[in-house]
Amino acid sequence: MKLYEYLGKDLFDRYDIPVPEGRVVENPEQAAEAASELGEVVVKSQVLTGKRGKAGGISFASSPEEARLAAEKIFNMELGGFTADKVLVEKKVQIEQELYLALTVDGTAQRPVVLVSLDGGMDVEDVPEDRMIRWPVDVTVGLQPFMVREICRKLGVEGNLQKEFIKLLPRLYKLFREMDAELAEINPLALTSQGLIAADAKVTIDDDALYRHPQLPRIKEKTALELKAEELDLAYVELEGDIAVMANGAGITMATLDMVQHYGGAPANFLDFGGGADVEKPSQALELLLGTNPRVLLINIFGGITRCDVVAEAFARVRESKGIDLPVSFRLVGTNESEGRTILEKAGIKSFTSMDEAVSHAVKLLDAS
């Protein structure tokens, strides 16, 4: 779950990471009011899209009236498909240099990794490898001052800035660990005459650990259908085609889409309903798919932890209750395969054992429809 900048900065503040003084406002008048308290300000759209600055979501204002106008513009602006409900009005910081600092997960090292660069700002992706220091942290040791000194040596940093880093990095690491962050990024990290200040905040919380953080608001920037899918714990992505696809497992779902394309079709979605022995999950997945009004339905089940009979049962049940009249291509093999096939046969549904056949049949059904 990505956090809005102002929520990320709330966390920073809680972990003693300096942030500019600011106010979260919900209309242009409040923005003017905030500016009258703060003086020269920066007005920032609170949306989750990247490249917000380049797209015009950030303005400077040197008077309350300018702040009001800037906020008005931003509240009416669409950024990456979203409009802002909130705007952050912050005291303008005199930046001497823009640095970059992040903590994220290094999957290969199986460790948190610190990323630090003296070349922060808009184009940090283009910083050459030798100017972006990476330091994987052993979680049994934690981020110790000596590691920061070593990072500073590699950066050529000494003196006061090194002291600032020695204070700041362990705090960001603590936030990263305790708040179950996947990413805690400060770009730019502003070097000012008062020391380092987090001029931006990109914090992503691990969805799987959200239950440990009931105090965090739940942020949803998704389509209604995707929200519904998330609620049902289904991995669902809308695509452009006509063949609705449902499978169990991300890899095989991807492979099914690949094969649909291979046979000349176009998938309407990616839907991995995961697995499990529960009849509810596939039923809900089917109901969700039917709501999208696809022209053909392709179901690809290779039972493992998922049992074929349970999926067949779910299909038969939804078919009866909702009435499925669109063409269906059903593939069913694996755990409890014969029980599943029997259920489908009773419901008058023919099923395939081969994925190839099921997919090419689905494309044929589309062409025929």
Partner 1 sequence: MSIYINDKTRVLVQGMTGNQGSFHTGQMLAYGTRIVGGVSPGKGGQSVEGVPVYNTVFEAVEKEPADASILFIPAPFAKDAALEALAAGIKILVLIPEHIPLQDAMDIMAQARQNNAVVVGPNTFGLVSSGASKIGIMPNQYFIPGPVGVVSRSGTLCYEIVGHLTENGVGTTTVVGLGGDRVVGLHFIDVLEEFEKDSDTRAVVLVGEIGGSAEEEAAAFIKSSMSKPVIAYLAGKSAPPGKRMGHAGAIIERGRGTFESKVEALTEAGVKVADLPTKVPALVKEVTDGK
Binding status of residue 49 toward partner 1 by CB under 8 A:
no
Binding status of residue 274 toward partner 1 by CB under 8 A:
yes
Q: How far is CA 257 from CA 144, 230, 281, in A?
A: 47, 20, 21
Q: Give the shortest CB-18-to-partner 1 separation in angstroms.
A: 23
Binding status of residue 144 toward partner 1 by CB under 8 A:
yes
Q: What are phi and psi of 209, to 5 degrees?
A: -115, 5
Cβ burial of 258 (10 Å; 0-12, 13-18, 19+) is: exposed
> Which residue in the set 54, 123, 129, 211 belongs to the binding site for partner 1 (CB under 8 A)?
211
Binding status of residue 247 toward partner 1 by CB under 8 A:
yes
Rounded distance between C-alpha atoms, residue 315 and residue 84, angstroms: 41
Stretch that binds partner 1, among 14-22, 54-62, 193-201, 256-264 (CB under 8 A): 256-264
> Which residue in the set 252, 279, 290, 326 belongs to the binding site for partner 1 (CB under 8 A)?
252
The pair of structure tokens assigned to 231 is 């609620």
Contact between 26 and 39 under an 8 Å Cβ cutoff? The reply is: no
Binding status of residue 333 toward partner 1 by CB under 8 A:
yes
Please list the active-site residues: 100, 185
Complex with partner 1: residue 141 or 368, whichever CB lies closer = 141
Biggest CA–CA distance in the chain, Å, is 78
Stretch that binds partner 1, among 38-46, 69-77, 251-259, 344-352 (CB under 8 A): 251-259
Report, in angstroms and rounded to the nearest whole number, the Rg of the chain calculated over CA atoms: 26
Which positions from 177 through 196 interact with partner 1, judged by CB under 8 A?
A: 177, 180, 182
Stretch that binds partner 1, among 29-37, 88-96, 232-240, 283-291 (CB under 8 A): 232-240
Q: Give the shortest CB-201-to-partner 1 separation in angstroms.
A: 19
Complex with partner 1: residue 36 or 210, whichever CB lies closer = 210
Stretch that binds partner 1, among 52-60, 188-196, 249-257, 339-347 (CB under 8 A): 249-257
The pair of structure tokens assigned to 123 is 């184009």
Query: Which residue blocks in the chain are alpha helix, DSSP H?
Result: 5-14, 28-38, 64-75, 145-155, 159-178, 224-231, 250-262, 280-290, 308-318, 337-346, 355-368
Residue 46: name the closest of 96, 86, 76, 98 by CA. Answer: 86
| CA angle (166, 170, 174) in 5-degree steps | 170
Which positions from 148 through 167 interact with partner 1, judged by CB under 8 A?
A: 149-150, 153, 158-159
| CA angle (235, 324, 322) in 5-degree steps | 80
Q: Side chain identity at 328, as an amino acid letter?
A: V
Binding status of residue 108 toward partner 1 by CB under 8 A:
yes
Stretch that binds partner 1, among 67-75, 94-102, 279-287, 350-358 (CB under 8 A): 350-358
Instruction: Name the site residues for partner 1 (rule: CB under 8 A).
Output: 105, 107-108, 110-112, 125, 138-141, 144-147, 149-150, 153, 158-159, 177, 180, 182, 206, 208-209, 211-212, 235, 237, 239, 247-255, 257-262, 267, 270, 272, 274-277, 302-306, 333-335, 354-356
